[in-house]
């Protein structure tokens, strides 16, 4: 069965979709049990129906057998009475074509019509003969008594034959209908279809459960990816901020470097200025010295 193949191919806890939790396992077990119960009910019902049909046929066949046995016994007694009637005719030496025998047969016909409603009705001539027949002879009295007794068993046989014919007809009708219905075959087909439907539904449950699990994992992965993205964006912002800080630092450093260069240049210029000043001072001092010496010389010249 497909369900059994499913169970062997995908054991719980080892499916291609990952380990199934207790919830899906319980739901699958319940679903499988439900379908198995329904399938077994179909088969069991069909089996009970078949057994009921078998019992009906068996009972009717048993009834036919009983009726056959009863008819055989009744026929034995009936034949015994018929034999006694033939013996009476022989004992009374009544000929077959005699008026006495013809009157006896007319009496038997009237008996059958009166007791069984025979379709063979009396003619006007026969009715007139019965009215004018007079008293029955000893032979006719004995024969009619035997005929009445034999009629009981004859009637039993006829009734049994009718009932057996009815039972046989019923058995044939049941058998024909059974062939048309083929209940057990249909039940087995229905059972297989139900189990196949259960297998497909369980597969669908497993796929749906796996899909939900994959969706959850995908959502989790997406959330993690978004978190990483946010973290990356924050990191990028920090890097940008750091770059900006670095650029500002570099700009400050450049400004400082430029200032330093400017100051250095100023210092160099100051040194040159100082050198010039020193030179000028020295020059002035030399000039002053010359002047002093000249003054001194002048003074010497004046005093001399």
204 within domain boundaries: yes
pLDDT digits (tens, 9 = 90+) for 295-304: 555 544 544 4
Instruction: Report pLDDT digits (tens) over 40-60.
Output: 887 788 788 888 999 999 999
> Would 199 be classed as within a structural domain?
yes
Band the pLDDT of 272: cuts 50, 70, 90: low
- Number of domains into which the chain is organized: 1
Decide if 122 contacts 109 (C-beta within 8 A). yes
Which residue is associated with the tokens 């997406």?
Answer: 222
Q: pLDDT band at residue 88, thresholds of 50, 70 and 90?
A: very high
285 domain-assigned: no
In a domain, 189, yes or no: yes
Sign of the dihedral defined by the CA atoms of residues 24, 29, 34, 40, in that order: positive
Nearest to 115 by CA among 70, 85, 78, 152: 152
Cα–Cα distances (Å) from 57 to 62, 168, 170, 200, in that order, read: 8, 9, 9, 40
**pLDDT at site 17:** 45
197 occurs within a structural domain: yes
Percent of the chain with pLDDT over 90: 38
Instruction: Report pLDDT digits (tens) over 205-242.
Output: 777 776 777 777 777 777 777 777 777 677 677 767 66
Domain residues for the domain of 11 are 2-210
Is residue 177 included in any domain, yes or no? yes
Q: Considering the domain boundaries, does residue 241 fall inside one?
A: no
| 35 pLDDT above the threshold of 60 | yes
Residue 8: the pLDDT is 45
Question: Does a structural domain hold residue 231?
Answer: no
- For the packed helices 138-181 and 22-91, what is the interaxial angle rounded to 10 degrees? 160
Between 2 and 160, whose confidence is greater? 160
pTM: 0.52
């Amino acid at each position: 069965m497909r369900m059994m193949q499913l169970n062997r191919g995908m054991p719980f806890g080892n499916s291609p979709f990952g380990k199934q939790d207790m919830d899906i396992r319980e739901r699958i077990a319940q679903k499988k049990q439900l379908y198995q119960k329904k399938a077994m009910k179909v088969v069991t019902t069909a089996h009970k129906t078949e057994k009921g049909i078998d019992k009906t046929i068996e009972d009717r066949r048993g009834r036919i057998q009983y009726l056959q046995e009863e008819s055989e016994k009744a026929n034995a007694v009936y034949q015994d009475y018929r034999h006694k009637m033939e013996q009476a005719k022989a004992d009374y030496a009544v000929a077959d074509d005699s008026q006495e025998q013809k009157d006896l047969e007319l009496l038997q016909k009237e008996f059958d019509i009166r007791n069984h409603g025979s379709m063979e009705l009396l003619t006007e001539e026969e009715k007139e003969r019965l009215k004018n027949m007079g008293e029955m002879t000893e032979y006719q009295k004995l024969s009619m008594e035997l005929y009445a007794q034999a009629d009981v068993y004859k009637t039993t046989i006829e009734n049994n034959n009718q009932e057996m014919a009815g039972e046989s007809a019923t058995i044939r009708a049941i058998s024909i209908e059974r062939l048309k219905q083929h209940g057990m075959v249909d039940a087995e087909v229905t059972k297989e279809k139900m189990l196949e439907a259960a297998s497909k539904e369980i597969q669908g449950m497993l796929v749906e459960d796996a899909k939900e699990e994959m969706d959850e994992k995908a959502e989790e992965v997406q959330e993690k990816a978004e978190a990483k993205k946010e973290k990356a964006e924050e990191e990028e912002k920090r890097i940008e901020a750091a770059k900006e800080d670095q650029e500002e630092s570099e700009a400050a450093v450049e400004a400082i470097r430029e200032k330093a260069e400017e100051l250095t240049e100023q210092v160099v210029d100051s040194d040159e200025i100082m050198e010039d000043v020193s030179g000028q001072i020295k020059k002035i001092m030399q000039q002053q010295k010359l002047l002093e010496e000249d003054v001194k010389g002048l003074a010497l010249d004046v005093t001399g």
